[in-house]
Amino acid sequence: MNAHALARYAALCQDEGIVPIVEPEVLMDGDHSLERCRAVTADTLRRVFDALYEQRVEFEGMLLKPNMVIPGKGDASYPAAPDAVAEATLACFREVVPAAVPGVVFLSGGQGDEEATANLNAMNARGPHPWQLSFSYGRALQAPSLKAWKGDDANLAAGQAAYLHRAHMNSLARSGAYTADAEKAAS
């Protein structure tokens, strides 16, 4: 099972003095509701933390890299409002993620760049939380810069500016200070 493999990886990392990043993910593909994503995410995280406990992983010495609780892209409610995502994600995590885990670094999981930023911001605006909430976005951080760059050296500065902008917006979201006005002002 994947939970066992993640836990074994985490234990081996800690045995070598490395901080493991444990990455269970519930995909947003499909037509599942926000509520269904919450239930599946909670079940997945329960199994992962049970396996981590069995492997004697020190929760204080790991990072969790999960999905946010969001409806599937095929659900009529997609995308859900940031407040709904924040409420569902935080309720799920309070139920199953030990407070000893120091940090949660979210996957963007196929969300749009501004959507992922707004969702992270909504969670941090509701703090404080037992864990630090941050981002470990791939697509949602890089997509705007790749779009601006277009593989053309003439667009290199535009690609770099787009990346810097997105990183700055996520930094604001990390502290709950992101706003639509900040998004527009920095563009």
Triad 57, 62, 65: Cα angle to 5°: 120
Measured CA to CA, the distance from residue 139 to residue 7 in angstroms comes to 26
Closest CA to 90 of 119, 58, 61: 119
* Residues with active-site annotation: 23, 65
- What CA–CA distances, in Å, run from 43 to 26, 48, 50, 114, 128? 10, 9, 11, 28, 24
- Cis peptide bond N-terminal to 128, omega within 30: yes
| CA triple 109-29-139, angle to 5 deg | 25
Q: Could you give the 3-state DSSP secondary structure of residue 46?
A: helix
Asked whether 130 and 103 are in contact (CB, 8 A), the reply is: no
